[in-house]
Structure 1
Amino acid sequence: MPFLTDTDYEVQIRNWIKQIIIQRKEDVQHQAELAAQAEMESYLRQRYDVAKIFSVTGADRNALIIQYMVDIAIYHLHANSSGDLIPELRIIRYNAAKDWLKAVAKGEISPDLPEKPDEGEGNEGTGNQVIEFGSNPKYSERY
């Protein structure tokens, strides 16, 4: 079942404009949504359980994930229809979505998303090990 619904788009784009962009081909919209989801997962995968995030349906979905996924999908739809004529607003919103995803990936922003379970739980000595690199100070043996 797709993560986004047609009503999710209504906040950001009028339906008749969306129909022009997708050329009344629902598979084009579906492919743009899949691309947007894959792009978001690539940023979120390291810290969050993306399977849980994108398997939720209805009102339980995270509003920011919906908003930014719609922004990314609309950007890809515009790029598909006329790559050199993407509206400035769509470029700004797409870049804002990417900036938010980068900040989430770095840990600067902590959205209310299910975190990825620790892979090393119950396994002592595995997982989060710290390795320090360096060397001793250089000494000169010249007289």
Structure 2
Amino acid sequence: MPFLTETDYEVQIRNWIRQIIIQRKEDVQHQAELAAQAEMESYLRQRYNVAAIFSAAGADRNALIIMYMVDIAIYHLHANSAGDVIPELRIIRYNAAKEWLKAVAKGDISPDLPEKPDKEEGGEGTGSQVIEFGSNPKYSERY
């Protein structure tokens, strides 16, 4: 079952415009959604349980994930239809989505998403063991 619904697009793009850019081919929209989801997962996978995030349905879905996934999907749809004339708004929103995902991946932003389980809990490990590198201060032995 797809993560996004038709009503998710209504907030950010008019239905008749969406129909024009998908050329009335629902499989084109589905492919753009899959690409957007894969792009988001690549940023979120390190810290969050992406299977739980994208298997949620209805009101259980995170509103920011929906918004940014729609932004990314619409950007890809515009790039598919006429890559050289992507509206400026779509480029700005796509870049904002990428910046948000980068900040989440770095840990600067902590959205309300299910975190990846630790190894001790029977899930896959996050590799969160901290290793510090360094050395002692340099001393001179010259007199």
Q: Which runs of 5+ in 1 are unaligned?
A: none
Say if 2:76 is the partner of 1:76. Answer: yes
| 1:109 match | 109
| 1:11 match | 11
Return the alpha-carbon distance in structure 1 between the equivalents of residues 60 and 129 of structure 2.
Answer: 36
**1:38-117 → structure 2 map (5 Å cutoff):** 38-117=38-117
Return the alpha-carbon distance in structure 2 between the equivalents of residues 20 and 128 of structure 1.
Answer: 46
How far apart are residue 139 of structure 1 and its match? 7.4
Identity of paired residues, percent? 90
Letter in 2 for 1:81: S
CA spacing shift, 1:51–1:18, aligned 2, 3 Å: same
| 1:35 match | 35
CA spacing shift, 1:86–1:47, aligned 2, 3 Å: same
CA contact (8 A) 1:43 1:105 kept: yes
CA contact (8 A) 1:120 1:128 kept: no
CA spacing shift, 1:104–1:132, aligned 2, 3 Å: closer
Return the alpha-carbon distance in structure 1 between the equivalents of residues 87 and 38 of structure 2.
Answer: 23
1:59-116: CA deviation from partner (whole Å, max 9, x where unpaired): 1110000000000000000000000000000000000000000011111111100000
Return the alpha-carbon distance in structure 2 between the equivalents of residues 121 and 28 of structure 1.
Answer: 40
Return the alpha-carbon distance in structure 1 between the equivalents of residues 54 and 141 of structure 2.
Answer: 63
Return the alpha-carbon distance in structure 2 between the equivalents of residues 64 and 94 of structure 1.
Answer: 13
Residues matched between the structures, number: 139
Q: Which runs of 5+ in 2 are unaligned?
A: none
How far apart are residue 118 of structure 1 and its match? 1.1
Looking at CA atoms only, which structure, 1 or 2, has the larger radius of gyration?
1
What secondary structure, in the 3-state scheme, does the structure 1 residue paired with 2:39 have? helix
